[in-house]
Every structure is written in structure tokens, then in C-alpha cells.
Amino acid sequence: MTSTNIKAQIDSLLADNTAGDISALDLRTTMVNVLNSVGGVGYYTDSTETPTVVNGGVWSKLPMDGTGALTDRVGEPYYITTPLIDGNERVSLAELGANSSLHFRFILSITTTVANQIVRLKGVGKLPNTTTVVEYNLSDIYFKTAGTYEVTPHFMAFNDPNLQGGTLELDATSDSSASIVFHSILIRLAG
């Protein structure tokens, strides 16, 4: 339903209904359509902040439990009833409609060990049975010198209908040894 259609329905509901042509079902249907189009935001922090060591081009999942002290779910849309970070430390897409838009902002600490090191991040979309459906290249980060850096990559996507009900995890790799701590994730949603 487009915003123009929703506006037309709302305008029709503003009538005085003296003819009795606006039913309770009409009102409910319109309000559900309006509310399902409302977005929101969830902020999740990791409670352990355990470093993940990546090396040699091997991809590793970055853990994020979403239960840290600063986690704040108060801004999530009403239709999100369970945490967006599931028990497998992935972003759950279970309560999101097909083609919902999602914007992710991660805060990571990356410790590199050599100069001119590359750390790569990717999002891995999986079905509920853990079959990988899609992989998104999120970021190739180049570090000129060894050290510890805080990085804040962003990623925007649509909830692919082929991935509906599935999950999205953040994976990383590096050409040389690197340690990565996944501090937090901000998830913006639009229905």
C-alpha cells in the first residue's frame, strides 16, 4: 500500500460516517497498514566484548549477544516483540516483512598486527535452517600501520523475500592476524 493510498483511506475515515459506510474493520485495516509502515530503531550492546581473532583469509563470525547493559529496545516498532539479536548472536529477520528496509551501524575495535593490513567484513544472510542464501561485502578496511582502531561501518539492505524469517550475521577475515571486538549495533527499521 502506498502512502497516497493510506492518506486516501485516512481522509475517508475523517468523514462523519452518517451514512454508516465506514465499518470497524475498515478502521482496523487502515490503522494496521499505517502502523506496519512505521519504522523504529533498536540499539544492542555486547555483554562480554570477547575479541575474535581472524587470520589467513578464513571467515569467522563476530559474536554479539545483544544483552549488554546499554542495550535499548524502547524505540523499536510495536510489531517487534522479541530482541532483534537472537540466541545465535545473529540479527533476526523473523518479525520483519518482506522488502522492509534495514540500516545497520556497527561499532568495532580492530587490533591489527602488521602494516598495510586488510580486514574484510561481510553480512551473511541465512534461512532458519542455517542455509546461506546471500552474502554482502560490507567493508574492506585498509590499515597503514599496526595498532588498535575503532571503526563504525554502515550497511543498508532490504529484507529479501527469499531470506524472510531468517537471520543476518557479521563475519570477518584478514590477511594477517587481527583481533576484533564487536561493541554495539544500531538497527534502524522501516516497514
Domain ranges of the chain: 3-35, 39-190
pLDDT in tens, 38-77: 788 999 999 999 999 999 899 999 999 999 999 999 888 8
The answer to whether the beta carbons of residues 98 and 165 sit under 8 Å apart is no
pLDDT given for residue 115 in this prediction:
96
Q: If you average pLDDT over residues 6-18, what whole number do you get? A: 69
Looking at per-residue pLDDT, the higher value among 23 and 132 belongs to: 132
pLDDT given for residue 14 in this prediction:
65
Pairwise CA distance, residues 29 & 31, whole Å: 6
Does the structure show a pLDDT above 60 at 26?
Answer: yes
pTM: 0.80
What architecture is domain 39-190? Sandwich (2.60)
Does the structure show a pLDDT above 80 at 31?
Answer: no
pLDDT given for residue 135 in this prediction:
92
Does the structure show a pLDDT above 70 at 108?
Answer: yes
Pairwise CA distance, residues 26 & 49, whole Å: 49
pLDDT given for residue 92 in this prediction:
92
Average pLDDT of the chain to the nearest whole number: 87
